[in-house]
Structure 1
Amino acid sequence: MTSGNLSATEQAVLDEIDEKGVDFLRLQFTDILGTVKNVSVPARQAEKAFTEGIYFDGSSIEGFVRIQESDMRLKPDPETFAVLPWRDNEESAAGRMICDVINTSTGEPFAGDPRYVLKRALERASDMGYTINAAPEPEFFLFEEDEEGRATTKTNDAGGYFDLAPKDLAQDVRRDIIYGLEDMGFEVEASHHEVAEGQHEINFEYDDALTTADNVGTFRTVVRAIAAQHGYHATFMPKPIARINGSGMHTHISLFTEDGENAFHDDDDEFNLSSEAKSFLAGILEHAPAITAIANPTVNSYKRLVPGYEAPVYVAWSDRNRSALIRRPAARVPAASRIELRSPDPSCNPYLALAVMIHAGLDGMEQGLEAPDPVRENIYEFDEVKREEYGIETLPANLGEAVDALEADEAIYSALGPHIGPKFVEAKRQEFEEYIVEVSEWELERYLETF
Structure 2
Amino acid sequence: MTTHDDPVPGGRPGDAERAAALSAELAERGVHGVVLAYVDTAGIARVKAVPAGKLAAAAAWGVGMSPVFDTFLADDAIVSTDVLGSPDGDLRLYPDLGRLVVLAAQPGWAWAPVDRITQEGDRHPGCSRTALRRIVSDAARVHGITFRAAVEVEWAVGQASAPGDSFVPAALGPAYGATRLVELSDYAAELMAAFAAQGVDVDQLHPEYAAGQFEVSTGSLDPVAAADRSVLVRQTIRAVSLRHGLRASFSPAVRAEGVGNGGHVHLSAWRDRVNLHAGGDRRYAMTAEAEAFAAGVLAHLPALTAVTAPSPASYLRLRPSQWAGVFTCWGHETREAAVRVITGAPGRAGRAANLEVKPVDLAANPYLALGCLISAGLHGVASSAALPEEITGDPARLDDAEAAARGVRRLPTSLGEAVEAFRGDEELRAALGPVLADAVTAVRLGEIEAVAGLDDEQVAAAYRWRY
Fold match, TM over 0.5? yes
The answer to whether 1:163 aligns with 2:177 is yes
The structure with more radius of gyration: 1
Cα 1:188–1:439 shift into 2, 3 Å: closer
The answer to whether 1:136 aligns with 2:145 is no
Cα 1:180–1:129 shift into 2, 3 Å: same
The answer to whether 1:38 aligns with 2:52 is no
Higher strand share: 1
Instruction: Give 1:395's aligned amino acid.
Output: L
Cα 1:411–1:86 shift into 2, 3 Å: same
Q: 1:385 Cα shift?
A: 2.8
Q: 1:7 Cα shift?
A: 6.2
**Contact 2:310–2:364 (8 Å) recurs in 1:** yes
Cα 1:84–1:220 shift into 2, 3 Å: same
Further displaced range: 413-422 or 351-360: 413-422
Q: Distance in 2 between matches of 1:213 and 1:177?
A: 19
Further displaced range: 386-395 or 340-349: 386-395
In the other structure, the counterpart of 2:356 is 340
In the other structure, the counterpart of 1:57 is 66
**Contact 1:157–1:168 (8 Å) recurs in 2:** no
Correspondence 1:306-325 to 2 at 5 A: 306-325=319-338
The answer to whether 1:273 aligns with 2:289 is no
The correspondence for 1:416, drawn from 410, 420, 432, is: 432
Cα 1:70–1:277 shift into 2, 3 Å: same
Per-residue CA distance 1:212-246 (angstroms, 9 max, x = gap): 00011111111111111111110011111233211
In the other structure, the counterpart of 1:47 is 56
The answer to whether 1:190 aligns with 2:199 is no
Correspondence 1:402-413 to 2 at 5 A: 402-413=418-429
Q: Distance in 2 between matches of 1:341 and 1:361?
A: 12
The correspondence for 2:316, drawn from 300, 303, 307, is: 303
Q: 1:441 Cα shift?
A: 7.0
Helix, strand or coil at the partner of 1:55: strand
Instruction: Give 1:99's aligned amino acid.
Output: V
Instruction: Give 2:331's aligned amino acid.
Output: S
Q: Distance in 2 between matches of 1:440 and 1:190?
A: 32
Instruction: Give 2:220's aligned amino acid.
Output: Y
Q: Distance in 1 between matches of 2:361 and 2:204?
A: 19
Q: 1:170 Cα shift?
A: 2.2
Could you tell me the percent identity over the aligned residues?
Answer: 28
Helix, strand or coil at the partner of 2:275: coil
Q: Distance in 1 between matches of 2:328 and 2:248?
A: 31
Cα 1:307–1:53 shift into 2, 3 Å: same
Cα 1:169–1:440 shift into 2, 3 Å: same
Q: Distance in 1 between matches of 2:172 and 2:221?
A: 34
Cα 1:54–1:305 shift into 2, 3 Å: same
Instruction: Give 2:423's aligned amino acid.
Output: E
Instruction: Give 1:59's aligned amino acid.
Output: V
In the other structure, the counterpart of 1:217 is 231
Q: Distance in 1 between matches of 2:91 and 2:180?
A: 51
Instruction: Give 1:430's aligned amino acid.
Output: G
Q: Distance in 2 between matches of 1:52 and 1:378?
A: 53
In the other structure, the counterpart of 1:19 is 28
Q: Distance in 1 between matches of 2:26 and 2:248?
A: 30
Moved runs in structure 1, 4+ residues, more than 6 A? 440-443
Further displaced range: 6-15 or 136-145: 6-15
Which runs of no fewer than 5 residues in structure 1 stay unpaired?
Answer: 444-451
In the other structure, the counterpart of 2:7 is none
Q: 1:403 Cα shift?
A: 0.4
Helix, strand or coil at the partner of 1:328: strand
**Contact 2:388–2:406 (8 Å) recurs in 1:** no
Q: 1:6 Cα shift?
A: 3.6
**Contact 2:16–2:59 (8 Å) recurs in 1:** no
Instruction: Give 2:100's aligned amino acid.
Output: F
CA RMSD of aligned residues (A): 2.2
Q: 1:147 Cα shift?
A: 5.9
Q: Distance in 1 between matches of 2:455 and 2:280?
A: 56
TM-score, normalised with respect to structure 1: 0.90
Further displaced range: 400-409 or 118-127: 118-127
Per-residue CA distance 1:339-397 (angstroms, 9 max, x = gap): 11111011110000000000000000001111112112331322323212322111001
Count of residue correspondences: 433
Cα 1:427–1:61 shift into 2, 3 Å: closer
- Which is bigger in relative contact order (C-alpha 8 A, separation at least 6)? 2
In the other structure, the counterpart of 2:76 is none
The correspondence for 1:118, drawn from 132, 146, 149, is: 132
**Contact 1:13–1:81 (8 Å) recurs in 2:** no
Q: Distance in 1 between matches of 2:190 and 2:388?
A: 44
The correspondence for 1:385, drawn from 401, 410, 430, is: 401
**Contact 1:9–1:79 (8 Å) recurs in 2:** no
TM-score, normalised with respect to structure 2: 0.87
